[in-house]
Amino acid sequence: MEEIRNKIFTQIESYREDMIDIQRQLTAIPAMSPDYKEGKGEMEKAQFLIEYLGKNGFGEIERYDAPDERVPEKARANFIVRLKGKSSARRFWVMAHLDVVPPGSLKSWKGDPWTLRIEGDSLIGRGTEDNHQGLVSGLFAMKAFKDLGIEPECDACLIVVSDEETGSKYGIDYVLKNTDLFGKDDLIVVPDAGEASGAMIEVAEKSIVWMEIETTGKECHASTPALGINAHRASAELIVELGDLHKKYSRKDPVYDPPESTFEPTKKLANVGSINTIPGSDTIYYDCRILPEYDVDEVIAFFRDKADKIEKKFGVKIQMKFPQISKAAPPTPVKAPIVKMLAAAIKRVYGVEAKPMGIGGGTVAAFFRRYGYSAAVWSRILDTAHQPEESCSISNMINDTKVFADVMLQKA
């Protein structure tokens, strides 16, 4: 087995320039959700990959595109490529996503976000880490087995989906609702989160609640405040009132990082255009990441109770909306086969002891877990996703490929 493993690892190392080149071509295709103003969907990027797979001898590509009238092709791309293994009793899946987020302010980039730059060991461009690194690693792990004529222990599958960045309605959620592709014994890896050491295998996530809180008062001239009701002042006091949420929800769980629930005021909409006007409307947003042992509905009710008190105190009206409510999915067991197999592979490739952990962020692994599938989230990353100058380490990309190949060699 060691001889075969070394042969595969050597083959993967030989792909270095090919992996950089495919990153270059993927980065040049700005596949964004139509939820973003400039987004036209992911189909162009999907077609490029499907053509690439065909040229490299992969067989039939299975399509599970989701209808979406908002994009030119009227569909969002989801597809699967398979590699036959010694057994089809279970499958090893790597799930990656096509879509990226907008680049943000171009002034924050040193170059064009859609043109790959190479600086030392780094590939720089929008999407290089999120999620091209995982996509390329999953693809080239399968390619190594195919090119060498070596069968993995079980069928190996790469599933590539759309819409991860804006809710997954047209991506993995659509696939799970409309197919029976997955089995309870399948091994599922989502390379869409991680840390610089590679020592974290994510097996659990907190509940997520995004709140939009709109406070309505009465606009007037700032020199005569008694003639109005200052929505901004009421909104600010609500933030202060909610400042001790960490005391009410104080439990800690060392499996998670950070170990406690978090409640952060984030975005704020502009209210009035002049300094001398008292705003009649003020809108703020909260991002809450809540440990699974807390009831999300109870947390929302607590927010509502605080808002009711502010309404009475200031004579305002406060409306709450929820751009996202995602209750924590059941965790993947820490002793699940995919967790143990990943840990063994990470130890061989990176020489680190990887441990199962929970995170505050949300990943698409939650969709698998809600269906009863044991999914693990892992990648060794620079953690630059969604940032200007997003980057991927070439050595991480190559070594992550070895990790996935190592799992493909293991007997569960």
What residues are labeled active site? 99, 164
CA separation for the pair 231, 331 (Å, rounded): 41
Question: How many residues make up the chain in this entry?
Answer: 412
Closest CA to 137 of 14, 18, 19: 19
CA separation for the pair 364, 95 (Å, rounded): 9
DSSP label of 29: S
SS3 344: helix
CA angle 53, 194, 206 (to 5 degrees): 115
Residue 258 preceded by cis peptide, ω within 30: yes
Residue found by looking up tokens 């698409």 in the block: 364
CA separation for the pair 86, 70 (Å, rounded): 42
Cα–Cα distance list, 122 to 14, 113, 235, 391 (Å): 18, 14, 44, 6
